[in-house]
Structure 1
Amino acid sequence: MFRTIAVRAAAVIIFTGLAFAWPDSSAKASSTEYPAAYPTFPVTVNGMAIDQLHNPYPLLLYRNITYFPMTWDYTSALGLTVTWNEQTGLSLDKNEMCAPLKQTLSAQTNNRSDSLVAIPVPFPVKVNGSLIDNSQERYPVLLYNNITYFPMTWRFTSEAFNWQTTWDDVRGYSIQSCERQAREASLQRDALNAANGGQLAMKDEWVYMNPLRSGGGSHSLVKAKLDGSDRMELSADNALSINVVGDWLYYIVSEPSKPNEIYKIRTDGTGRTLVSDTDGEQLWVLDGYMYFLRYAGRQPSGTGDTAQVQGRVGIFRMSIDGSNEQQLLADPAVLGFYMYGGQVYFRTMEDGKNKLYAMR
C-alpha cells in the first residue's frame, strides 16, 4: 500500500511505503512484477545527453521501450504539466514550454548488471485529460523505487505530446520536445556553418551558397530550395562567410584586386549594398553585430600604423550598418574563432603549438 507525497514546488511524484487505501484492483496490480533494465544506448533530451551512470533516477528499458521517470526535471524538460491528487491519480498534459534539462547527479554509480523489477502504478493515469486503461496497456505506466515511470511509445511521444523522436545505432534515442530547443539546434547549425567558412547557409526551405567557389570557375551567390529546385542567382559575387539575418544575407566578397569587403543583399536578390570596405574574413553576424578577423596589410586609414605586421591583426566587431567598429582582441597569432553561448572561442599558433582560448 502507498501514501502520496505531493511536492508542489518540486512536483516530483514520489511514493513511500506508508498506508494508503486503493481499490482491490490495485492490490492485484501491485503484485505483478515486470523485469526491467538500464538502457545501454545514449539518450538525449533536446540535445542534452542523459548521464545514466550517476543519475539517482535512471531511465529504464522494458520490452525495448525506454521509460522516463516523472520527476520535475524530466517533465519540465519534456514540456509536460504534472498534477496529482488522491482521488483522480496522476495527470500528464502537454504544454508549449520546455525548461533546460537539469540533472542532479550522484557520486554513487548505477550497477548495469542489477536485476530491476517494476510494478504497475496502483492509481489512475490520464494523458491530456483522457484516462488510460493501464491494465490493458502493452507498455503500462510503472512504479520503480517509488518513482512513476512513463513509456516513450510512439502513441504518446508523437500522437499525444507531438515530440520529434529519432533512433539510430550510433546516436541512440533522441527526443526533441519543444520548438524553442529546436531553435537552439538551428543556432548551433548556423554556428558550425560559419566556423567552416560559411560556404552555405540555410533558412526555412532555402539554401544560400557559392557553389563554384572551390571549382575554379565563375563564382556567384545563388539560392535554391532544399531539393535543388527554383535555383536563382542573387549576385555575381565570390561570396564567403554567408550569414542569413532576417531577410538579408551578409557576406564577404573575395576579389584579388581589392580587400575582402562586407556586403549585404536581400534574400530576393535586391538591395545589394557595401557595408564596410574593411579587409576581413571569417564573418559572423550575431545579435546586431558583425564579428570578423582583420588582415594587417590593407586596413582602412585611421586605425593606426600596423603595416609592418603581417597576417591577421585580431578579432573585431562593428554594428551591422558598418558603424561603431571596435577591436576585441589584438593578437596576430589568431587563426580562427567560434562564437556560441555569449563566448568567443579562438585558436592561436604560439611556439609551434595550437592553443585554445575563450573570452566574452
Structure 2
Amino acid sequence: IEASGVTAAHQPYRTTTMNNRNQTAVIPGFPIMVNGKSVDNQKEEYPLLSFRDITYFPMTWKFGVDEFNWDYSFDSINGLVINADNIKLIQRNLPEIRAKNADGTLKNNVAVTPAFVYYEDNRGQIIQASLADTSRTRAVYQLPVWTYGDGETTVYAGLYTEGGQTFITYHQGGATMGTDYLIRLNDDGTTSLINDTRFYIKDFDDISIKYWIGPAPGPGQLYMQGKDGEWYPLGNQDLLYGWAWKVSANQSGGGSNQDTCLIGRDLYILGFNIKAENTSTTGIYKVNIDTSETVRISSREVTGFQIEGDYIYYHSDGIMYRYSLKDREEESLGQLVKAPDKIYSFAVLNGNIYWQDETKRSLHNLKGVDLNPGAELSGMGLAGDNKEYLVASFAETAQSKYRMMIFDKQGKVVFKTSDEALPRHVYITGKKLYFYNITAGTICIGELR
C-alpha cells in the first residue's frame, strides 16, 4: 500500500447475494508494506485484516494521517470525515446499450467534449448525449453494414475529438478496393463528410494538402488544392510521400505516416526516392508549395518527426536529433538506445522529450528515467487548447502503478490514475479534464492543478 496521489473513479460493488449475519476476517500472514516500510502485523494494536482476498487497514490516525496524509476528523455531528489531496472526479453514467465486441466486452467507442458525449450503441448507431444529462440522447449517424461481412455486422468505427470537434472514421469494403471514411459530427446533430478516399488530407488554414495512403503507393502522389477546387501535383515526382518506406534484399514496403507540417510556404513531409530504391532511405523533405522545390533536410534515415517551435525533432539509429528551422543545423540530443533495441515512438512537449523503447515499451524522458516503472506504454498524444499537455496511457502489468498520466509543459505530472483510459478518450480545455474511464465505464470530469 502506497500513498501516491493517484486518482480513481468510484466503482460500486453490486451483488445479488446477501451477506451472512456473521462474517470472518483473518489476520494475514503474508508480508505487508506501507509506503515502502514493513508492517509487523502481529504487533499492531489494530492489525490489518484480510477478507474475501482483499486487505483492509484500520481507520486509525497512524495510517490515515501519518502514512496517507489525509485530512482526517471525527465528531458526533459529522461522524468520520476524510479528505484526500488527490483530484476529485465527477462521474456521468452511460447506458448499458452500448456496442459490444464478439466476446461480450464493450467496444468502448466513445468520445467526449465539454457539451456532449458520443458513443456507439448496440444497433450500430452513433448516439449524441448531453454531458449535463446523459439520459438526453439522439441518434446522429447510422453505421453501414460491412459489405464483406455477414450482412448484419456494421463496419468497425472509431470516434475521436480533435480541435474541439468530434469525428468518426471507418473503412468500408475490402483491404485493397475499400474506402476510408472520415465524418465530422456537428453539435446540432448533423454530420459532414470530410473524406471518402484513400488519400490523407491535411488542412492548414486555407491550404489543403493530400497524399496517397492506400494500397500500392507510388511516386508523385502529393497534391495541393488550388483556389478552383482542383488538385495539382506538388513536389518532386520521383518521391514517394508520406510513407516510412524500407527496402531489403528481397522486398520493399512500409507504412503510411501523418507527420506533415506547413511552416510559411514550406511543407515538411517524409519522402523516399522510389526511383532509386536500392540506395535510398526515408527522410524528411522540405517542399516549397509555390515552386515545388524539394530538399532533403538530413541524410539520416527518419521514419517519423515532430515540429515544435523552431525545431524539427526526430531519431535515427537510437539517437535523438533536432534540426533548427532558423539555422538549418542538426544537433544530437544524445544516444537513447543501442542496437538491437530501438526508439519505438516519441513525443515532444515544450522541448521535453518523451520516448518509448521497443524492447520493454516503457516511457522515458530524455535522461532515460522510466516515468512509470514496470508499465508498458500503450499510447500517447498531445491534448489541450494549445496542445499544452501530454497524455500517456499504459497497459495493465503487475508492477504498473498508473494506467494514465498527464504531463504539463514543465514536465510535471498533473494527473495520474489507476483506471484505464486512452489518449483519444481525453479532452482538456483550460484546466478542465474530461475523459471516458474504461475501467468504470463512465465519463469523468476533474480539474487539473
Q: Structures share a fold, TM > 0.5?
A: no
Greater percentage in helix: 1
Computing the radius of gyration over CA atoms, which structure comes out larger, 1 or 2? Answer: 1
Q: Name the TM-score, length of structure 2 as normaliser.
A: 0.26
TM-score (norm 1): 0.31
